[in-house]
Structure 1
Amino acid sequence: MSKVCEITVNVDEALSVNKYEVDEETPHIELAEDDGSEAYDEEFLKLVRVCPAALYKVDGDGAKSFDYAGCLECGTCRIACEGTIVKKWVNPGPTMGIEYRLG
């Protein structure tokens, strides 16, 4: 009978070793202006659910926030909402963006 090795991964800890060079002047992700509509709210909540870096947030009072600075550049938000509220999604410029340290 073989032994099973169980490995637990702490995602926050693994992501914390990555290096980010944020282009403060030219964001690589831009959202359409919040028009207060139900459609916008639904699309934003979709981004809250799908972003693996949790960059899209809604606080207890319903205020929405977004910060591209911790982006993993996976493109999930672009796939989920391009053509709705994701107005721009491009790869960061040279020497900008994420540098993965754990594979």
Structure 2
Amino acid sequence: MQPIEERLELVRFKVDKRPHIRVHTEACRDCDLTPCVYVCPAGLFEILGGEMHFSYEHCLECGTCYVACERKAIEWDYPRGGWGVSFRAS
């Protein structure tokens, strides 16, 4: 089995200017658990200076952040057709 690092090298992104994920950061301010920071396999969530920051550009589109957020601060839609992540077998 290939190591995860090698498999992630096969991932390609066609980034849309219109984000498919929106984070309502005001709801994150009182969140003590911040599960999105820990569950995102791409590491796209981080807290800087007490504020939640998110970048959608390299999202793997798994929806884990949406499921893990108890505060419903994440709006998640599939990217428009032709945009987003694509996985290659080799």
TM-score w.r.t. length of structure 2: 0.80
CA contact (8 A) 1:18 1:102 kept: no
Select the structure of larger CA radius of gyration: 1
Alignment RMSD:
2.4
**Structure 2 residue 50 is the aligned partner of structure 1 residue 50:** no
Task: Output the CA distance in 1 between the equivalents of 2:65 and 2:51.
Answer: 19
Task: Return the structure number with greater helix share.
Answer: 1
Aligned residues: 90
Say whether residues 1:101 and 2:61 are aligned partners: no
Question: In 1, are the aligned partners of 2:25 and 2:51 still within 8 Å (CA)?
Answer: no
Distance 1:36 1:46, change over 3 A: closer
Checking the alignment, whether the CA contact within 8 Å between 1:19 and 1:99 is kept in structure 2 is yes
Partner Cα separation in structure 1 for residue 81 and residue 68 of structure 2 = 25
Say if 2:30 is the partner of 1:38: yes
Q: Please list the CA deviations of residues 15-50 of structure 1 after superposition, one character each: whole Å capped at 9, or x if unmatched.
A: 1221101111x11000113267323xx35x210111
Q: Which runs of 4+ in 1 moved over 6 A?
A: none
- More strand as a share of residues: 2
Q: Which amino acid aligns with 1:32?
A: H
Identity of aligned residues (%): 33
Structure 1, gaps ≥5 residues long: 1-6
Conserved 8 A contact 1:56-1:66: yes
CA distance in 1, matches of 2:56, 2:35: 16
Gaps of 5+ in 2: none
